[in-house]
């Protein structure tokens, strides 16, 4: 009898202990996977309540609705910059990645023999325009939609998604506040700028040992919100930015901003913007004699940046949401098929759109043609426990934001070389060859 009780107790411990450990680890982790050193007010007091740790539930009606029986196609919406925006090349990459995944899904039977059809809609980066496009998606009976890259567009679109009860799966907008809206009709499968900000602060100040960092960033929401994360955390480690200069999309002469930066005598410079402007800034920095190490936001991981800068890019450091050179059979097959289909290499937006569309297809196949049931599946974090796409795993936090590990990208011999981003709590010795604390 004692032996049976002992075995039963051992079984219960073995069964429940791992789950309790995992839950404890999940509770211990700060929001956004922020390290303790960079978590707001961590040194002073614990908050009474922390938000965005538990998903918001949707208790509305709609799950009882039956799927239509006479459909000739299953429509999926797409919202991205396809014209009238500086992000059109990235928008087209995103559309092509989604298209490739949908074509493969239809070759595999579509939805119970009914083909999936992609319904593209253009975002022009204007307040209000995105809401009109989401209304059109509702009118055309789309079951779900994918989008977008522009921060403003995404924020407007998700509010229309709430009103119309159509799920929005984000594959391109890096704005950390996108998922902080308490709207239970969205998730994001691409890691956001919060993760890049943490890694850049760690690399610049702790590993490389800089203390006086100048910033020049795009004068738009992407630049403003992205650099905000870096700025706040640089201050928390004791090194506020010494100057913040701005530039507009399409600008080509950065003489005035660089003259102001030169006066501050920084020991490193961070550039936050799109590939073209970032490349031109680096060229003009070197032309006027600025020799400091330069760091960039992730949008420079782009052939256009390397084409503009040439050998001047050697040694620059940035981040990337995935590793496009990973030894991953799924990724390699996607890259081969994408190049054959569209005649160009896929970028980060194409890769995440490909994963996003595959997620949408599987969700519809499992949940059926019911918007609320599709929403239920895509806001259940357990849905993604075993998912491993061409960009890697998807680890959703309580706000449905993907917080998986990102990568450091450095230019060596004219190419980006990718390495796993180090743990944010890694210690660096003061005075070592790599600098740091």
pLDDT digits (tens, 9 = 90+) for 353-411: 999 999 999 999 999 999 999 999 999 999 998 899 999 999 999 999 999 999 999 99
Of the CA atoms within 13 Å of residue 133, those in its CB half-sphere come to 29
pLDDT of residue 45: 75
Counted residue by residue, the chain has a size of: 437
Range of the domain at 239: 194-320+407-420
Asked whether residue 214 falls in the same domain as residue 102, the answer is: no
Asked whether residue 304 falls in the same domain as residue 352, the answer is: no
Asked whether residue 154 falls in the same domain as residue 272, the answer is: no
* Domain assignment of residue 55, yes or no: no
pLDDT of residue 18: 42
* Domain assignment of residue 21, yes or no: no
pLDDT of residue 33: 83
Q: Which residue has the higher pLDDT, 437 or 311?
A: 311
pLDDT above 80 (res 428): no
Asked whether residue 227 falls in the same domain as residue 369, the answer is: no
Q: Which residues of 298-328 are buried (b: 16+ CB within 10 A; e: fewer)?
A: bbbbbeebbebbeebbeebbbbbbbbbeeeb
CB atoms within 10 A of CB 336: 10
The DSSP bridge pattern shows strands 317-320 and 407-412 to be antiparallel
Strands of 13-137 (E only): list them.
Answer: 74-80, 116-122
* Domain assignment of residue 365, yes or no: yes
pLDDT of residue 6: 45
* Domain assignment of residue 277, yes or no: yes
Asked whether residue 269 falls in the same domain as residue 214, the answer is: yes
**pTM across the whole model:** 0.90
For the chain, how many structural domains are there in total?
A: 2
Asked whether residue 311 falls in the same domain as residue 282, the answer is: yes
Residues sharing a CB contact under 8 Å with residue 407, sequence separation 6 or more, in sequence order: 319, 320, 321, 322, 323, 418, 419, 420, 421
Asked whether residue 214 falls in the same domain as residue 247, the answer is: yes
Asked whether residue 279 falls in the same domain as residue 303, the answer is: yes
pLDDT above 80 (res 208): yes
* Domain assignment of residue 79, yes or no: yes
Asked whether residue 201 falls in the same domain as residue 316, the answer is: yes
Asked whether residue 298 falls in the same domain as residue 211, the answer is: yes
* Domain assignment of residue 398, yes or no: no
Distances (CA, A) of 207 to 19, 159, 193, 420: 35, 41, 20, 15
DSSP string, 339-389: HHHHSS---HHHHHHHHHHHHHHHHHHHH-S-HHHHHHHHT-GGGGTT-EE
Asked whether residue 186 falls in the same domain as residue 206, the answer is: no
pLDDT of residue 50: 76
What CATH number is attached to the domain comprising 105? Answer: 3.40.50.2300
* Domain assignment of residue 176, yes or no: yes
Judge residue 34's burial from the number of C-beta atoms within 10 Å of its C-beta, 0-12 exposed, 13-18 middle, 19 or more buried: buried
Asked whether residue 78 falls in the same domain as residue 181, the answer is: yes
* Domain assignment of residue 216, yes or no: yes
Share of the chain above pLDDT 70, in %: 91
């Amino acid at each position: 009898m004692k032996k049976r009780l002992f075995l039963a107790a051992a079984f219960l411990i073995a069964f429940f202990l791992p789950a309790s450990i995992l839950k404890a680890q999940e509770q211990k982790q700060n929001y956004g996977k922020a390290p303790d050193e960079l978590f707001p007010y961590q040194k002073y007091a614990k908050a009474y309540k922390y938000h965005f740790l538990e998903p918001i539930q949707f208790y509305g009606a709609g799950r009882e609705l039956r799927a239509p029986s006479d459909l000739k196609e299953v429509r999926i919406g797409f919202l991205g910059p396809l014209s009238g925006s500086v992000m059109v090349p990235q928008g087209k990459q995103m559309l092509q990645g989604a298209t490739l995944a949908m074509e493969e899904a239809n070759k595999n039977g579509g939805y119970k023999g009914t083909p999936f059809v992609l319904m593209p809609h253009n975002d022009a980066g204007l307040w209000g325009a995105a809401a009109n496009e989401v209304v059109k998606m509702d009118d055309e009976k789309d079951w779900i939609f994918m989008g977008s890259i522009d921060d403003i567009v995404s924020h407007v679109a998700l509010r229309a998604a709430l009103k119309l009860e159509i799920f929005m799966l984000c594959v391109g907008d890096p704005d950390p506040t996108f998922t902080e809206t308490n709207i239970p009709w969205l998730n994001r499968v691409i890691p956001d700028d919060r993760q890049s900000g943490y890694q850049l602060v760690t690399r610049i100040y702790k590993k490389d040992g800089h203390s006086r960092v100048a910033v020049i960033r795009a004068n738009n929401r992407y630049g403003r919100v992205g650099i905000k994360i870096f700025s706040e955390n640089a201050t928390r480690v004791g090194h506020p930015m010494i100057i913040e200069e701005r530039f507009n999309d399409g600008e080509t002469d950065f003489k005035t901003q660089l003259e102001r930066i030169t006066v501050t005598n920084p020991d490193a410079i961070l550039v936050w913007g799109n590939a073209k402007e970032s490349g031109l800034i680096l060229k003009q920095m070197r032309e006027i004699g600025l020799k400091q190490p330069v760091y960039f936001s992730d949008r420079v991981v782009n052939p256009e940046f390397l084409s503009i800068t040439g050998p001047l890019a050697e040694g620059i450091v940035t981040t990337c949401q995935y590793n496009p050179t990973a030894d991953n059979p799924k990724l390699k097959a996607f890259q081969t098929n994408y190049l054959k289909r569209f005649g160009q290499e896929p970028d980060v937006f194409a890769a995440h759109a490909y994963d996003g569309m595959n997620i949408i297809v599987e969700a519809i196949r499992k949940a059926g043609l019911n918007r609320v049931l599709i929403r239920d599946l895509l806001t259940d974090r357990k849905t993604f426990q075993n998912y491993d796409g061409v960009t890697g795993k998807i680890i959703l936090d309580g706000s449905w934001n993907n917080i998986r590990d990102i990568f450091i990208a450095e230019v060596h011999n004219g190419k980006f070389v990718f390495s796993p981003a180090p743990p944010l709590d890694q210690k660096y010795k003061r005075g070592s060859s790599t600098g740091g604390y």
